[in-house]
Structure 1
Amino acid sequence: MSKAIQIAIDGPASSGKSTIAKKLAKRLAYVYLDTGAMYRSITLLALEQGIEASDNQALRALAEASEIVFKVNADGQSVWVNGKDVTDEIRTDQVSQAVSAYSAVSDVREVLVEKQRDYTKGGQGIIMDGRDIGTVVLPAAELKIFLTASAEERGQRRFLENQAKGYSEMNLEELIADIKRRDLYDSTREDSPLKPADDAIILDSSDMDLDQVEEAIFAYVNKVLSQN
């Protein structure tokens, strides 16, 4: 590999963004920033402290005061907030159902986007995934991928993932309905709605496994790198 680049991977809930981003970051020896985990972390703290999604001032203060750190370990990457490992807590159905409302708050997005951009100042290769990376956070990223799949396929993936982790709060039908609800909410919110950047490559993974998705995106990475 020659010049390091910035890679933005956007897409709806349970499209596999984080999993693919982690795999690519390891393969390329790039920094990986899970922006969704940042919004989930603020959501978790807000729920614990009883802060409503309508309380902009309190949420801004919460986001500004929170230290979110990503640590690499034998299992991959863990998420720590204010010195506590919240890797599993932020993936519960309770947080999943609430995160769209809290992540739509402009004050929260403003604070976290600034923190996300701070990670790019070292000039190193970086991969970020989320819903507005290519449109808002890294508009100059050399490669932008919009990864999607049918709601049914994404629901099935989340259901199997939850089963593997011992979560059983929602059945498959409820998960699919919740994903459709989040899609609508995320794509119609006023601040930084979910949508592909004008120059993003749209990749539908409904009929692809993780290895196929990784190889497809890796081919795009190589193409961009060969042009630099």
Structure 2
Amino acid sequence: MSSEHLVIAVDGPSGSGKSSVSRAAAHALGVGYLDTGAMYRAVTWWCLEEGVDLEDRDAVAQAARDIPLEMGTDPSTPSVRVSGREIEEDIRTTRVSEVVSKVATNTSVRPVLQQLQRDLIAEIAGRTGGVVAEGRDITTVVAPDADVRVLLTASVEARLRRRSKELHGADHDDAVEATRDQIVRRDADDSTVSEFTEAAEGVTLVDTSDLDFEQSVQALLDVVRRVAPDKVPA
């Protein structure tokens, strides 16, 4: 990882706000953005499209190596493309969400995407002067030497209400329950291969349970400016 440019790594459980908060922070800092979770979703979508059996771990790992993936890195307009096709909306569908853990917990896939993530982080930081990279394993495995490492978390209920509002446009009890399985099960599945519930040594914990979106973004920016003041763009 380049020591010349600002690298910010943000980890956290599903629904913690790490994607939206990381995008906003990257925009505020004028640096690039990388959504590594979208990469697992893209591989999942690709396997479904190509008829790859998600239970065939070796075949899925090969798909992760072969996928013609392009990650958009502008925080204002993040995009995911495969063979030139924009799939940002496709990878957020229930069809993908219900099975993405099969790819994300595949221990043959993770090293492939983790190396690609390291390469992208270095490339984005060099091109834009910095990067905010978010997703599982970022603070501990992918970029343990990042300038700023943050575990963004929130209570289960806060995360459920945020995600239900995002998916269903409401956060009433029925909407929350419709979202519970996706959040709770995804966390349980992913926790078998990744630690994202407790901050590792050197990682700053930011709990957004009682913060609104703007306050959450400010909390992340405050950590960045405190931990790496000399690298924050003017």
Instruction: State whether TM-score is above 0.5.
Output: yes
Aligned to 1:127: 132
Distance of aligned partners of 1:73 and 1:6 in 2 relative to their CA distance in 1, 3 Å threshold: closer
- In the alignment, what sits opposite 1:220? 223
**Aligned positions of 1:29-178 closer than 5 A:** 29-71=30-72, 76-122=77-123, 123=126, 124-164=129-169, 171-178=175-182
Cα gap change, 1:78 to 1:121, in 2 (>3 Å): closer
Unaligned runs of 5+ residues in structure 1 are: 165-169
What's the offset of the Cα at 1:73?
7.3
Distance in 2 (alpha carbons) for counterparts of 1:57 and 1:129: 26
Local SS of the residue matching 2:78: strand
Which range moved further: 79-88 or 68-77? 68-77
1:163 shift after superposition: 2.9
**221 and 93 in structure 1: CA distance in 2 versus 1, 3 angstrom threshold:** same
- 8 Å CA contact 2:7–2:148 kept in 1: the answer is yes
How do residues 186-225 of structure 1 correspond to structure 2 at under 5 angstroms?
186-189=190-193, 192-195=194-197, 196-225=199-228
Return the offset for 1:48: 2.6
Task: Decide whether the 8 Å contact of 2:11 with 2:18 is kept in 1.
Answer: yes
Letter in 2 for 1:29: G
Q: In structure 1, what is the equivalent of residue 12 of structure 2?
A: 11
Q: Distance in 2 between matches of 1:220 and 1:80?
A: 32
Secondary structure at the counterpart of residue 44 of structure 2: helix
| Distance in structure 1 (CA, Å) of the matches to 2:59 and 2:95 | 20
Deviation at 1:227, TM superposition (A): 5.6
For residues 58-92 of structure 1, what are the alpha-carbon distances to aligned partners after superposition, in whole Å with 9 as ceiling and x for unaligned?
A: 11221111122133679621211121111111111
CA distance in structure 2 between the partners assigned to 1:136 and 1:112 by the alignment: 12
What CA RMSD, in Å, does the superposition of the two structures yield over aligned residues? Answer: 2.2
Separation (CA, whole Å) in 1 of partners of 2:44 and 2:75: 26
CA deviation map 1:153-203 (0-9, x unaligned) = 212111111235xxxxx94203123311111111123xx443433211111
% identical equivalent positions: 38
Are the equivalent residues in 2 in contact too, given 1:38–1:112 (CA < 8 A)? yes
**Structure 1 counterpart of 2:87, which letter?**
V
2:118 partner amino acid:
R
Q: Aligned partner of 1:205: which letter?
A: T
Contact map agreement 1:151 1:176 (CA 8 A) in 2: no
Please give the alpha-carbon distance, in whole angstroms, between the structure 2 residues aligned to 1:12 and 1:104. 14
